[in-house]
Amino acid sequence: MMKYTLLGVLYFVQGMPYGLQSSLLPIYLRGVGLSFTHISLTKVLYFPWILKVLWAPFVDQCWTKKTWLLLSLCGLAVTCLVCSLLSPELDLFLLAVILLLMNFFASVQDVAVDGLAVKILNRKELGFGNTIQVVGYKLGSVLAGGGFLTVMHMLGWNILFLLLASVYFIAILYTWMSPEFVVIPKNPTLMKLRAKSKALNASEIPKELLRVPGTLWTLGFVLIYKLGENGATNMFPLFLLDHGLSPAELGFWNGMVGMIFSVGGSTLGGIVQNKQSKLNDLLRTSLMLRLLGLCFQTILLLVFTSDLWYMIVAAVLSIIVQHFIAGLLTTLTFSLMMNCTQRAEERIQATHYSLLATMEVLGKLCFSTLVGGLVDWTSFIFCYLVFIFLSFIPIIYTLYEP
C-alpha cells in the first residue's frame, strides 16, 4: 500500500506543471490579447520532455531514484517561488524561461518516478498502478489548471504560485521520509546476473533499447494516438472563450469537471484492463469512440451560439465525453508502454520507458504547437477535419500489431 501512496503523491505533483500550462496559461494569455498562433507556440516550452531520453541514462545509472526525485522536486519548488514574483503581462520572456526550467525539472522527476514504478510493480499490479499514475497526474493537473483558473480572479497570480510551491515542499518532505523501495528478485541466477551487469556505454544504449520486443510498434503507436485529440483539447476551450464563455466558466467545466471525468475514464481503463486480457482490442474500441466524439464537436462548431442554453449544455457534454475517453485511452496506452518496458533489462528500464514517453509527448506537441497558426490561417472547421483524419490513423495502426 505504501508504494501506491508514494506513486500517487509523485504523479500528483508531476501533473501540476502540465495543468498549469495546458489549462490555465492559454486562457490567461488569450484574455490579455495574444493570438492563437502565439498561444500554440507556448507548447515549445514542453521541449525538455522530448529531450528527457538524453538524461534518462544518468537517472538510470547514477545515484538513486529517491535522490533524483528530491532534486527535481526542489527545482520545481524554486521555479514556483520565482514565478510568484513575476507579473506575467510585463515579464513574458522571463516567464517563458522559468516555465522552461519547470518542464526540465518535471521531466527529470518523470524519468525517476517511471523508473521506480516499473521496478516495484509486478505484472498483476500494472492495471492498478497505471490507474494511480494517470489519476494522480490528472488530479495534479486539475488543481494547477482548472482549479486555479476558477479562483484566479480572487487570489491572483502571485498567491497561486505560492500555493503551488507549498504543495511541492510538502511532497519533498513526504518523499524524503519515505523508505527506499528495493525489489529482490526471487531467481538467484537473476540476482547474480544483475550484480555482474555493468553500465552500458552511450553507443550501446540505442541498440539495447530497440532490441526489446515490441518497442518499434509501441513507439509508432504512442507517437500517433494523441495527434488529433490534443489539437481538439487545446482549441475547443479557446473557441468557447471567443464565443462568450468566461475564463472562470471554462476553468470549472473544462479544467475541473472535465478532468474529473478524465479521472473516471482513467479509473475505468485500469478496471477493464484487469478483466480483459486483449489490450489492443480495448485500445481500438476507445479510439473509435473518440472519433465519434470529435465528429460531434465538429458539428457543434457549425451551429454553436452562446445565446441558446442548450448549445452551452451540448458544448459542456462534448468536453466531458472528450475528457472521459481521453482518460480511458491514456491509462490503456501507459499500460501498453509499461508492459513493453518490463521486457527490458532492469539497467535500461527507466531509459526505455523514457524513450516511449518521449515519443508520446512528441506526438502531443508536434501538431498542437502548430494548430493555433492553422486556425488563424484557415478556420476551426478545417482544423477539426484534420483532427478527425489524424484520429482515424491510430485505429488502422492497431490492426497491424506484430
pLDDT at 202: 66
The amino acid occupying position 235 is M
Query: What phi and psi values does residue 119 have, to the nearest 5 degrees?
Result: -75, -40
CA-wise closest residue to 166 among 54, 284, 81, 48: 81
pLDDT at 290: 96
pLDDT at 85: 92
Beta strand segments in 102-245, E:
none
CA-wise closest residue to 371 among 41, 32, 20, 31: 41
Structural domain including 346 reads: 2-400
Question: Which contacts of 210-214 are long-range, i.e. CB under 8 A and separated by 24 or more positions?
Answer: 212/340, 212/341, 212/343, 212/344, 212/352, 213/340, 213/343, 214/340, 214/343, 214/402
Q: Tell me the residue length of the chain.
A: 402
DSSP symbol at 178: S
pLDDT at 52: 87
Distance CA 354, CA 107 (A): 9
Q: Could you please report the per-residue DSSP string of 342-354?
A: TTS-GGGHHHHHH
pLDDT at 114: 87
Q: Which class for 61: exposed (0-12), middle (13-18), buried (19 or more C-beta within 10 A)?
A: middle
- The 3-state DSSP class for residue 313 equals helix
Alpha-helical (H) ranges within 304-379 are: 309-341, 349-377
Q: Could you please report the per-residue DSSP string of 150-164?
A: HHHHHH-HHHHHHHH
Query: Contact 395/288 with Cβ under 8 angstroms?
Result: yes
pLDDT < 50 positions in the chain: 184-197
Q: Which three cell numbers stand for residue 104?
A: 526540465
The amino acid occupying position 265 is G
pLDDT at 181: 60
Who's near 295: CB < 8 A, 6+ residues apart?
388
pLDDT at 180: 64
Query: For 258-299, what is each residue's pLDDT tens digit?
Result: 888 988 898 888 888 766 667 888 999 999 999 999 999 999
pLDDT at 225: 94
pLDDT at 185: 47
| Longest CA–CA separation in the chain, Å | 71
CATH number at residue 14: 1.20.1250.20
pLDDT at 54: 87
Query: Contact 3/130 with Cβ under 8 angstroms?
Result: no
Compute the radius of gyration of the chain from its Cα atoms. Answer: 21
Who's near 312: CB < 8 A, 6+ residues apart?
245, 306
Structural domains of the chain, count = 1
